[in-house]
Amino acid sequence: MLAANTKTLPSVIFLMGPTASGKTDLAVALTEKLPCDIISVDSALVYRGMDIGSAKPDAATLQRAPHRLISFLDPSKPYSAAQFRCDALREIEYILHSGRIPLLAGGTMLYFKVLLEGIADLPAADPALRAQLTTEAAQYGWPALHQKLAEVDPVSAAQLHPNHSQRILRALEVHALTGIALSTLQQQQQPASLPFRPIQLALMPDDREALHRRIEQRFDRMLREGFMDEVRRLYARGDLHPDLPAIRAVGYRQAWDYLAGNLSEAEMRAAGIAATRQLAKRQLTWLRNWPQLHTIPMQEPFDLEKVTLATLKILSANGI
């Protein structure tokens, strides 16, 4: 929620869009036209050692355009939307105080939403309860726990895929600890007042099939560049497991299943591409209902110069 007089607030750029839409290329191009510093908004890029499968910018790109909030956390550690909000607000303040423009770029839509709206005051995680629910999921499957959630919190359940284990677990945990549905607590929260004015942009593909081809081509490129060697190093550590948020990331989950012997190589590739397409579909669903959004059409073939000029025109019309 914005403060009453937004005209006096400094501007911050949000650059959203589905996976594989060209957000990183556009963000880097904008830093060469405007005094912008990039803050990553991506739940996988926060992890060290997860570079290829997360499409993390390479060293040359990071030298041209450094990204904040990437590669600072070990994959064994969970990272929440609430933590992101705290970290992002700190980085935004630092960039603004340096006289530059924060450019938040990424595809983790929940992070953008929590940054804009704040987050409900929820109980801390309960390890014993989580262990109990995880054991139940191992016995009956996450769809069964999703059905259990639907009985106590139908609003939250309707927003989640039956295999979205992390969020199903959290919603059941909150209800068990408070006796109140997570969705109810979220509706009761007071929107946070932001110390900046967001200019919200989204790269939106004109052709869904073209985006699907880009996703498939990028996944195959990751495999050629050594994605499986990257996952093998994580797998060999011995302290990581598929219930961790890092390992549940799209692509990594499927590669982990392959190394565990649950999928063939061909099945892993197909499942990884399908999961990435599903991620893009969810991101587009978020964006179709996003308020105050300036859309930038993404056409094939992707013309970075054309897209950059269209973006600069929108930013100029909004005071940047």
pLDDT digits (tens, 9 = 90+) for 59-81: 999 999 999 999 999 999 999 88
Alpha helices in 40-80 (DSSP H): 59-64
- Residue 3 pLDDT > 70: no
302 contact partners, CB below 8 Å, separation of at least 6: 22, 25, 214
Write phi, then psi, for 204 (nearest 5 degrees).
-125, 120
User: What is the per-residue pLDDT for 219?
Assistant: 98
pLDDT band with cut points at 50, 70 and 90 for residue 284: very high
Residue 260's pLDDT is: 97
Q: What is the pTM of this model?
A: 0.84
> Picking from 33-37, 72-76, 180-184, 248-252, which range would have the lowest pLDDT averaged per residue?
180-184
pLDDT band at residue 41, thresholds of 50, 70 and 90?
very high
Which percentage of the chain shows pLDDT scores above 90?
A: 81
- The β-bridge relationship of strands 101-105 and 67-68 is unpaired
19: tokens are 């996976």
Question: Token pair of 296, please?
Answer: 């930038």
Q: What is the pLDDT of residues 292-303, one digit of tens each?
A: 999 999 888 899
- Percent of the chain at pLDDT > 70 equals 97
List the structure tokens of 15. Answer: 């650059």
pLDDT of residue 5: 52
Tell me the CA distances in angstroms from 76 to 57, 105, 168, 226, one per residue in order. Answer: 22, 24, 20, 21
Separation CA 138–CA 55 (nearest Å): 30
The total number of residues shown for the chain amounts to 320
Looking at residue 118, what is its pLDDT? 87
- What's the mean pLDDT when you consider all of the chain? 93
| Better pLDDT: 80 or 283 | 283
* 160/104: higher pLDDT: 104
- Per-residue pLDDT tens digits for 99-121: 999 999 999 999 999 999 888 77
In this predicted structure, the answer to whether residue 97 has a pLDDT above a threshold of 60 is yes
The Cα angle at residue 270 between residues 19 and 61, in degrees rounded to 5: 35
Among residues 247, 250, 254, the alpha carbon closest in space to that of 269 is found at 254
Report CA-CA distances (Å) from 258 to 139, 150, 250.
Answer: 21, 31, 14
Q: How far apart are alpha carbons 258 and 236 in whole angstroms?
A: 14
What whole-number distance in Å separates Cα of residue 202 and Cα of residue 280? 13
pLDDT at 2 over 50: no
The predicted structure's pLDDT at residue 6:
61
Are the C-beta atoms of residues 68 and 39 closer than 8 Å to each other? yes
Per-residue confidence (pLDDT) for residue 300, from 0 to 100: 86
- The mean pLDDT value for 168-191 works out to 86
Chain centroid to CA 280: 11
What average pLDDT does the segment 147-159 reach?
Answer: 94
Tell me the H-state helices in the chain: 23-31, 59-64, 81-97, 109-117, 127-140, 142-152, 154-158, 165-178, 182-188, 208-224, 227-237, 252-259, 265-288, 304-317
Element (H, E) at 43: none
Structure tokens at 18: 């589905």
The pLDDT of 32-49, averaged and rounded, is 98
Residues 6+ apart with CB under 8 A from 155: 181, 183, 184
- Average pLDDT on 205-215 reads 94
* pLDDT at residue 256 is higher than 70: yes
Which of the two residues, 197 and 186, has the higher pLDDT score? 197
Q: Report the pLDDT value the prediction gives residue 4, as an integer from 0 to 100.
A: 43
